[in-house]
Structure formats: C-alpha cells, structure tokens
Amino acid sequence: MIITLGPEGTYAHQATQILFPEEPIVFADSIFRIFSNYEPDHTLVLPLENSSHGSIPEVWEEINGRDLFVSKTHVLKVEHAIGALFKNFNKVYGHHQALQQCRKYLQKKYPHVSLEVVASNALAVKLAAKDTNSAAIASDFTFRVYNLPILEENISDFENNETRFGVIADKDLYPNEKKTAIAIVITPKVDEPGLLLKILTPINDERVNMTRLESRPQGNGLGNYNFFIDLQTNPQSDAFKRIMETLRKKHDVKIIGAY
C-alpha cells in the first residue's frame, strides 16, 4: 500500500506518481496519521527536506523512532502558480509554506487581499474552486487536477525551490540499486566537552562529504540530543565502515537511509 499526504493534487501526490506510476495511492491528511496508522505492508512517500525551509523534523524523528528506512529519494521542483475562477478576488488560500514562499509576489501584486492558511495547497484549490471571491496558490499539477484556471505561473520568491521526497518502509525496498548517500542518527552515550567535534572528526578524517547535520531533542531531558547526519558515500565503502566503527565505540549509531 502506497500512502502519501493528501488530498489528491498535493506536491506529495505528484512525487508519488513519479516514483510509483502504476500503483494505487492512498491519501492521508497529516504526517501524524500516516505514522500512527503505520503497518509493515505500508510504503510511505513523504517530504524530507525543502531547499527554502530545511528538513521536515517530524518525518525524520518518526523514521528514527519506528526503525524505518529511506531507500529512495526524488527531488521535485516546487513551482507555485496562482489561480482563481475570476481575476477580481479578495482572498488567497494556501499552505503556510506556499504563502511564505510567495510573500513578496503577493505583497507587490495583491497587497490588499487577505491570506488564509489551509492544511494543503490542494485544499486551497478546492476551496477557491467553490468561492468566486478567492484565489489559491498551488502547483500547475494541482490546478489541472481540480480544473481551476491558472492566472500566473512561477510566482515563487525563490528561483530554485525544491523538495526532496523519500520512499519510507520498514526495510530497504531497493537493495540492488547503487547508493550514493547515507542517513545516520547518532545518539551520544555521554555528554562531554567537544562532543560534536569528536563526532565529526572521523568523517573529516575519511574525507567524506557531509550534506546535512541537525540536532533534535531525545525527549528524555534538557541538553540530550540526537544528531541526524547525511553522508555522500556508499554503505559498502571502506571509508564509511571505518567511520561507523569509530563512532560506535562511544555512541549508538543507526543507519536510517541509503539512497
């Protein structure tokens, strides 16, 4: 069962169709519901990171907490458009990130309209399709799904706005594919001066490129953090094996993705 964020027409829906073009898709209304109802036969397609707003921490924390695995990713270019039934509108619906990413455009071209945050851009289009006094911000894909006219394309304030989506399950679904990136979580066993430097030193010593570093609370007291790290290397490389061997001498280290 392939599950992603709905309703139909979201960027997540678009990414899921690209990744699983022949599979039926089940939509859920929130990341919370997707993970709380997770079963071993489920395959999830969810956003992992946006180039403008960073990673999606609740997704990574659920992957780590439930011992799930990211085995493929797809980078989708986020190209916002604005659409409406009529050009004279006084309200714009949109997901909070979409409204934020088009803030300068809206202030310049529609300074007097009110902005209303909704759960998804797909919902924004559904609402605008029923309200002659409103518009919506969404992708071209979403406007086509709901047959709402597009007034203007490419309205984002960010030229290179991209979201990375991940295929998530309880195992590696693509074990035979060549992997070029690895996601790991480090849970320090002890707190000590220079902890982060000591964690990063073996990565630097092996000359492996680190593409993401984030700290997230462990949830068991102030000052206790997990470190989420992405590395540009193959899981079978000698350099990665040496990094893991060194880190595991002092910390708990889990591989949560290879893609």
Q: Which amino acid is at 97?
A: Q
Q: Which CATH superfamily is domain 182-258 in?
A: ACT domain (3.30.70.260)
Does the pLDDT of residue 223 top 90, yes or no?
Answer: no
Distance CA 128, CA 112 (A): 17
Can you give the pLDDT at residue 126? Answer: 95
- Kindly report the average pLDDT of the chain as a whole number: 95
Domains 80-151 and 182-258 share a fold: no
* b (16+ CB within 10 A) / e for 193-209: eebeeebeebbeebebe
Does the pLDDT of residue 220 top 90, yes or no?
Answer: no
Give me the architecture of the 80-151 domain, per CATH. 3-Layer(aba) Sandwich (3.40)
- The domain limits of the chain are 2-78+161-169, 80-151, 182-258
42 neighbors 50 (Cβ within 8 angstroms)? no
Q: Cα–Cα–Cα angle for 176, 242, 165, nearest 5°?
A: 45
Percent of the chain with pLDDT over 70: 100
Can you give the pLDDT at residue 221? Answer: 81
2-78+161-169 fold: D-Maltodextrin-Binding Protein; domain 2 (3.40.190)
Q: Which amino acid is at 149?
A: P
E strands, the chain, in order: 2-5, 25-28, 43-50, 54-55, 69-77, 80-84, 91-94, 114-117, 134-139, 150-152, 162-169, 182-188, 209-217, 225-232, 251-258
Does the pLDDT of residue 232 top 90, yes or no?
Answer: yes
37-76 pLDDT, tens digit per residue, is 999 999 999 999 998 888 999 999 999 999 999 999 999 9
155-187 pLDDT, tens digit per residue, is 999 888 899 999 999 999 999 999 999 999 999
Distance CA 249, CA 47 (A): 33
Residues 6+ apart with CB under 8 A from 111: none
Can you give the pLDDT at residue 185? Answer: 98
Average pLDDT for 15-22 = 97
- 197 pLDDT tier (thresholds 50, 70, 90): very high
